[in-house]
Chains A and B, each alone.
Chain A
Amino acid sequence: MRIEDHPILGKVERGRKITLKVDGEPVMAFEGETIAAALIASGQRVFRYTEKRVEPRGVFCALGRCTDCVMTVDGQPNVRTCVTPARDGMIIQMQGTPDQRETALDAGEGEG
């Protein structure tokens, strides 16, 4: 959900429209906004799954400190999406996926 008009801040000034590819799907973004902002605007809440317990994580600090929102961006893993500006054509992938959960649990790695 984007906030277009604001009683204090007024109308928003955004960069040009660009397209990101997020897990294969096109996502509209504005140049210069953070990747996380574009994803939240598109309705995405889960940004990654943890490696061991395969639990969902999303934006927590929005400040670049907690690393809960990291994703793989143009092949580079663990990019903090909340402080990384979106650029046209960026390929963004989620780290860890829910279907890994079964495998992890089967292998007894679900605990701890």
Chain B
Amino acid sequence: MGKTEIAVVGGGAAGMTAAIESARAGAQVTIIDENEQPGGQLFKQIHKFFGSGVHRAGTRGVQIGRDLLREAEEAGVQTRLNTVVYGIFPDKRLGLICGDHTEELASEIIILATGANENALSFPGWTLPGVMGAGATQTLININRVLPGRRILMVGAGNVGLIVSYQLLQAGADVIAVIEGLSYIGGYGVHASKIRRAGVPILTGFTVLRAEGKESVERAVIAQVDEKWQPISGSEEVLEVETICLAVGLSPLSELAWMAGCRFSFLPALGGWVPAHDENMQCNLPGIYVAGDLAGIEEASTAMEEGRLAGLAAAESLGYLPPEEGRKRKEELRNRLAALRIGSFGEGRATAKKKLMRAMCEK
């Protein structure tokens, strides 16, 4: 059986930063990732990130991904790729599937940074080829460099829907419309403005009724909804599209945290069921930490700060950091996180995070 001091599950934005901080402090760290390459979803984020200078605002996700890979290597982080964590045992052993065999990995601390899954939306025809996640489309166009279709309907005007719509235009596709069930655009104005300037209509108060086509999507039927989310008869419109992208939110990938026995809270502002954690990102189970989208759906910039916080706290708990230095650096990271959770977009998440931390104290 292999051994490591700190096992990080998931090598995306949160997992990589957690591993880098722990390893820099001197801990022995292993990242386990089911993919061929680490980096999670960073490599498909070709837009510039928000925040301030310390959050690396203005830098594209793909560049941040490359930097993190280099930093992890320099810090001596071990990486196990093509490896699925199928379970967590009470003594913090991890069950691994590597190709055609299984293994166990003993650890003292586990940092779960498993990320999120795209939500689906079901409507007649939603299983037809051509209906796909907006994130799936983003992977296809920015990583695989193939267009899944020329004429696109985007469902959802949150940041993912808006950003992927713009990136589809950059990739040469024709975004026929962005529709949004709510009466307002959920994403940032700067993203909405960019696609409006490019001539793409954003229709609020609209939903997709059905996808039609013989073997794959040939058209979409959309309609206006009333205040009870019911389609308004007579408002149907037919759009000739071959791809329908679903940008209807993300949910934390929480299977391992449930299995480990973490306490959960239901917080819609953070994407649903989220493991409770303290201000060190530690769960109610000592030695199990969470970070990134698993700890509440936010952005890559928050995921990276949470990762750093979890990694630092984990290394500190193993005695790798002098208490004064640990306290100071964690405080700095918490301030940086707070700065990412302000304003009309961040406030709801900040409140929900506080609830999550209070849930730790409940019996």
Contact = CB atoms under 8 A, between A and B. Distances in A.
Nearest to B41: A63
A69 to B, nearest CB: 9
A65 B298 CA distance: 21
Interface residues of A, number: 34
B129 A3 contact: no
Given A3-B147, A3-B171, A8-B60, A60 B131 contact: yes
A110 to B, nearest CB: 15
Contacts, number: 95
A68 B128 CA distance: 10
A60 B133 CA distance: 6
B216 A45 contact: yes
A2 interface: yes
Given A1-B147, A4-B145, A62-B133, 10 more contacts: A2-B145, A3-B147, A9-B142, A45-B130, A56-B128, A58-B129, A60-B133, A62-B135, A63-B133, A83-B36
Contacts of A58: 128-130, 132, 216
Contacts of A37: 140, 144-146
B91 interface: no
30 contacts: A1-B146, A2-B145, A2-B146, A3-B146, A3-B147, A6-B170, A6-B171, A8-B46, A33-B144, A37-B140, A37-B144, A40-B146, A40-B147, A41-B146, A45-B129, A45-B130, A45-B216, A46-B129, A55-B127, A56-B216, A57-B129, A58-B216, A59-B136, A60-B133, A61-B136, A62-B133, A62-B144, A63-B136, A68-B127, A85-B36
A51 B305 CA distance: 45
B35 interface: yes
Interface in A1-37: 1-4, 6-9, 12, 14, 33-34, 36-37
Given A9-B142, A45-B216, A59 B148 contact: yes
B46 A9 contact: yes
Given A9-B142, A37-B140, A62 B170 contact: no
Interface of A: 1-4, 6-9, 12, 14, 33-34, 36-37, 40-41, 45-47, 55-65, 68, 83, 85, 98
B127 A62 contact: no
Most buried by A among B34, B131, B146: B146
B82 to A, nearest CB: 10
Size category of the B interface is 20 to 34
A59 B216 contact: no
Contacts of B60: 8
